[in-house]
């Protein structure tokens, strides 16, 4: 393909340049710091979570560089242990869990249901500052040397670890509040603030994903909060609540931790699925192959996901019956994900598929998610998990599905909604090139780790047997490639924020409701009270045109039938 014809010509800016948007309504620091506008809060979250991604990414690159040689390369064992712990904590709680819901969920959810804001705007701002407080605590913990327990904080090691466990768990405890508040806010918003025409089964699928993830966040996070609080108390006051020498039970801690942390995997991946469910219909210009299959499987994942935590504990001493029950439930939850995958792929059938950066990320997502998901079924197969548990196979599996899934969907979202957020277009060629390198780098980093795990390379090993070195070197080079592509993406997107060509209301010719309003949207989202007559995925008729003040809609140029 010599030229990349995305098939969508940005509609020229129709408004007078003085049109008031959520961006130019005020420029003061105070107008950002004390804003209750869900769009500005979304931007604040986007900036802060991107900072967390950079921090976690630097840790990742140091860790991979350390593994270039079997012995010490650049850091010592204790530093290595603290760094993989902080890498996990920063990536899971500071980036992956909040990334899509708080940035894109906040920005888009009210617009997608035709609301002016979320149900509790001030609570929304509070949740941002609670998140910032949590980030600050984690950084304080880093400054104190960081924890060395692994992001799982397994007792009783976490009670006796010489590192800064208490500030770290306290930081995560605070972050949990932010997550819960955002979840409650989204649930109430979805129930009470849908505009005329937006029935439950006409909500964009991203809203369903946000609804599902909010349920999990609200139900699961308190369990984590309590467990980590007890870990902190055990460490600080030596109460021994999980310490067997005082009558505590370390395996109970694992049950509590995974009761949260397995659903947390779905907290990370459901929003990613929501993004993909928007990107595929828009760029295929077709209705989803089955709207209800995607919506119901979201709820299926949200609920069945609570019954699978024991598959992390097949060798931790659970009964044969428990192991079998958790095994079969884990198979079931994979079915819901498979339904979504087939629905996305079949959506392209008889559509009109454009090649654009979000679609590149959809293809990356598709491969990483299906391969990662199927290896998830593999590690849920009990006898196989005995060999794979706590090896690099598991590391590769969850990086494929959690990180590969969330990161590619986050990048897809960043490009897909970039015109809506900034009112400008990003450079398509750079996007496609960077997206391809991200996929290649990611695959090169983590595919060798499946083979390392097969060979018996245990995870969290600082020294390793020299037979593993060639695969480790490939993995490290892949990580550098991935890091370079991410930096490239950051650079061209930052430039495009200020110099990109104007995008117009609906550059992708989507039917989803957030595209009815001008880009960037006005302060209260829509110039007039919106009434949505079309389905958000109805591509049988032309886009009715963006909403103007006074409620009339401006038609676009004539479409090709």
Q: Which residues between 129 and 188 bind another protein (CB under 8 A)?
A: 148-150, 154, 156-157, 160-161
Residue 530 tokens, joined: 């919106």
Q: Could you tell me which stretch among 76-84, 177-185, 187-195, 427-435 binds another protein (CB under 8 A)?
A: 76-84
**Total binding residues for another protein by CB under 8 A?**
104
The rounded distance, in Å, linking the Cα atoms of 120 and 108 is: 15
Q: Sign of torsion, CA 57 63 64 66?
A: positive
Instruction: Write down the least CB distance from residue 315 to another protein, Å.
Output: 5
Q: Based on CB atoms, which residue is closest to another protein, 8 or 115? A: 8
Q: Does 474 bind another protein (CB under 8 A)?
A: no
Q: Based on CB atoms, which residue is closest to another protein, 47 or 332? A: 332
Tell me which long-range contacts 469-475 makes (C-beta under 8 A, separation of at least 24). 469/69, 469/70, 472/67, 472/68, 472/448, 473/68, 474/444, 474/448, 475/64, 475/67, 475/444, 475/445, 475/446, 475/448, 475/449
Instruction: Write down the least CB distance from residue 548 to another protein, Å.
Output: 20
Beta pairing partners, 196? 531
Helices (H), 246-306: 250-284, 291-304
* Residue ranges in 309-368 that form contacts with another protein under rule CB under 8 A: 314-317, 320, 323-324, 327-328, 331-332, 334-335, 338-339, 341-343, 345-346, 348-355, 359, 363, 366-367
Residue 374 tokens, joined: 């199927």
* Residue ranges in 193-212 that form contacts with another protein under rule CB under 8 A: none
Query: Exactly one of 25, 74, 541, 554 binds another protein (CB under 8 A); which one?
Result: 541
Instruction: Write down the least CB distance from residue 532 to another protein, Å.
Output: 17
Q: Based on CB atoms, which residue is closest to another protein, 20 or 538? A: 538
The rounded distance, in Å, linking the Cα atoms of 94 and 326 is: 29
Q: Based on CB atoms, which residue is closest to another protein, 258 or 314? A: 314
Instruction: Write down the least CB distance from residue 112 to another protein, Å.
Output: 20
Q: Based on CB atoms, which residue is closest to another protein, 8 or 41? A: 8
Give 373's DSSP letter.
H
- The SS3 call for residue 220 is helix
Q: Does 32 bind another protein (CB under 8 A)?
A: no
Q: Based on CB atoms, which residue is closest to another protein, 470 or 551? A: 470
* Residue ranges in 244-303 that form contacts with another protein under rule CB under 8 A: 244-247, 249-251, 284-287, 289-291, 293
- The SS3 call for residue 152 is coil
384, 391 contact by CB (below 8 A)? no
- The SS3 call for residue 391 is strand
Instruction: Write down the least CB distance from residue 238 to another protein, Å.
Output: 15
The rounded distance, in Å, linking the Cα atoms of 392 and 344 is: 30
Q: Based on CB atoms, which residue is closest to another protein, 390 or 428? A: 390
Helices (H), 399-455: 405-416, 418-422, 428-455
* Residue ranges in 396-455 that form contacts with another protein under rule CB under 8 A: 451-452, 454-455
């Amino acid at each position: 393909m010599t030229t990349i014809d995305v098939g969508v010509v940005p509609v020229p800016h129709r408004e007078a340049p003085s049109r008031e948007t959520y961006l130019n309504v005020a420029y003061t620091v105070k107008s950002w710091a004390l804003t209750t506008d869900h769009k500005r809060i979304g931007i604040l979250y986007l900036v802060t979570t991107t900072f967390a991604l950079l921090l976690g990414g630097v840790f990742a690159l140091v860790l991979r560089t350390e593994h270039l040689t079997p012995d010490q390369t650049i850091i010592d064992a204790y530093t290595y242990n603290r760094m993989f712990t902080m890498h996990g904590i920063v990536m899971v709680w500071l980036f992956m869990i909040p990334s899509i819901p708080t940035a894109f969920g906040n920005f888009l959810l009210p617009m997608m249901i035709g609301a002016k804001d979320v149900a509790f705007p001030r609570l929304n701002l509070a949740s941002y500052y609670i998140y910032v407080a949590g980030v600050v605590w984690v950084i304080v913990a880093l400054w104190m040397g960081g924890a060395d327990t692994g992001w799982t904080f397994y007792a009783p090691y976490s009670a006796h670890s010489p590192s800064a466990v208490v500030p770290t768990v306290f930081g995560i405890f605070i972050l949990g509040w932010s997550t819960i508040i955002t979840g409650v806010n989204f649930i109430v918003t979805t129930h009470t603030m849908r505009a005329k025409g937006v029935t439950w089964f006409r909500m964009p699928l991203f809203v369903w994903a946000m609804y599902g993830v909010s349920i999990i966040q609200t139900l699961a996070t308190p369990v984590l909060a309590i467990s980590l609080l007890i870990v902190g108390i055990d460490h600080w006051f030596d109460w021994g609540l999980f310490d067997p020498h005082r009558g505590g039970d370390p395996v109970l801690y694992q049950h509590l931790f995974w009761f949260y942390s397995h659903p947390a995997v779905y907290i990370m991946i459901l929003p990613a699925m929501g993004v993909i469910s928007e990107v595929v219909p828009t760029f295929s210009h077709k209705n989803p192959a089955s709207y209800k299959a995607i919506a119901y499987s979201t709820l299926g994942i949200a609920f069945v996901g609570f019954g699978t935590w024991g598959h992390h504990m097949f060798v931790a001493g659970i009964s044969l019956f428990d192991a079998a029950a958790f095994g079969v439930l884990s198979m079931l939850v994979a079915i819901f994900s498979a339904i979504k995958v087939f629905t996305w792929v079949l959506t392209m059938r008889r559509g009109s598929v454009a090649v654009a950066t979000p679609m590149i990320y959809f293809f990356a997502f598709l491969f990483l998610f299906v391969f990662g998901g199927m290896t998830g079924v593999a590690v849920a197969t009990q006898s196989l998990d005995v060999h794979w548990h706590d090896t690099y196979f598991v590391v590769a599996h969850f990086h494929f599905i959690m990180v590969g899934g969330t990161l590619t969907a986050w990048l897809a979202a960043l490009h897909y909604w970039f015109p809506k957020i900034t009112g400008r277009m990003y450079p398509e060629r750079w996007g496609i090139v960077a997206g391809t390198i991200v996929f290649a780098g990611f695959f090169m980093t983590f595919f060798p780790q499946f083979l390392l795990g097969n060979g018996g390379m245990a995870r969290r090993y600082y020294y390793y047997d020299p037979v593993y070195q060639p695969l480790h070197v490939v993995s490290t080079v892949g990580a550098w490639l991935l890091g370079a592509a991410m930096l490239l993406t950051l650079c061209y997107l930052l430039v495009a924020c200020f110099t990109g060509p104007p995008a117009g209301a609906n550059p992708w010719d989507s039917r989803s409701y957030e595209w009815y309003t001008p880009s960037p949207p006005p302060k209260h989202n829509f110039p007039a009270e919106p009434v949505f007559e079309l389905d958000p995925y109805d591509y049988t008729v032309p886009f009715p045109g963006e909403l103007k003040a006074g409620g009339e809609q401006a038609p676009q140029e004539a479409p090709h039938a």
